């Protein structure tokens, strides 16, 4: 993984993990053990799905950067679809507090996305790779002088 992608991943994962720890503590205090489990599951789900998506996007576009936008949309759509499937599967569960799970999931997903956007904006990566200057203009210039 290139260093700029690793920086973007870290810039999204660290604030999400910090917010997740706060959410887990609040959930444990407010909703007890089931709230703690719900918040923990939500944090692990967001960090797992979204970090896997970043790694998948890196691998998809490593040799073919022209497909970055299409691959990014595909990865993001897949992530949201998988989160939706998990929400549908655990809709009526009694294993954990579902409201705590939902709010923690939403908060962590928004923080992850904001971290990614912020890191990408700060990275100042070129989206057009400039061509190296060729030798032809110099040759043409020296021919004009003679």
pLDDT at 117: 86
- Mean per-residue pLDDT, 81-107: 89
Orientation angle between helical segments 3-61 and 68-89, nearest 10 degrees = 90
Mean pLDDT (the chain, rounded): 84
Instruction: Name the residue ranges covered by the structural domains of the chain.
Output: 3-145
Is the pLDDT assigned to residue 142 strictly greater than 80?
Answer: no
pLDDT at 1: 59
Tens of pLDDT, residues 108-133: 999 999 998 898 888 776 666 667 66
With contact defined as beta carbons under 8 Å apart, do 16 and 43 qualify? yes
pLDDT at 34: 92
Residue 86 corresponds to which tokens in the numbers above? 């998990």
- Mean per-residue pLDDT, 11-25: 93
* Higher per-residue confidence, 42 vs 55: 42
* Higher per-residue confidence, 20 vs 144: 20
- Give exposure, 69-91, as e/b (b: 16+ Cβ within 10 Å): eebeeebeeebeeebeebeeebe
Q: Percent helix, strand, coil in the chain (nearest 5)?
A: 80, 0, 20
CA angle in degrees (0–180, nearest 5) for 82-64-55: 35
């Amino acid at each position: 993984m290139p260093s700029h992608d690793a920086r973007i991943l870290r810039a999204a994962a660290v604030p999400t993990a910090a917010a997740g720890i706060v959410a887990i503590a609040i959930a444990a205090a407010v909703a007890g053990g089931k709230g703690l489990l719900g918040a923990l599951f939500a944090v692990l789900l967001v960090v797992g799905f979204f970090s896997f998506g970043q790694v998948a996007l890196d691998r998809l576009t490593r040799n073919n950067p022209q497909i970055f936008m299409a691959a990014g949309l595909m990865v993001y759509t897949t992530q949201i679809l998988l989160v939706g499937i998990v929400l549908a599967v655990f809709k009526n569960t009694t294993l954990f507090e579902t409201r705590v799970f939902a709010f923690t999931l939403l908060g962590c997903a928004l923080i992850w996305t904001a971290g990614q956007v912020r890191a990408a904006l700060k990275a100042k990566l070129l989206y057009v790779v400039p061509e190296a200057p060729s030798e032809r203009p110099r040759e043409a210039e020296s021919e004009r002088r003679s």
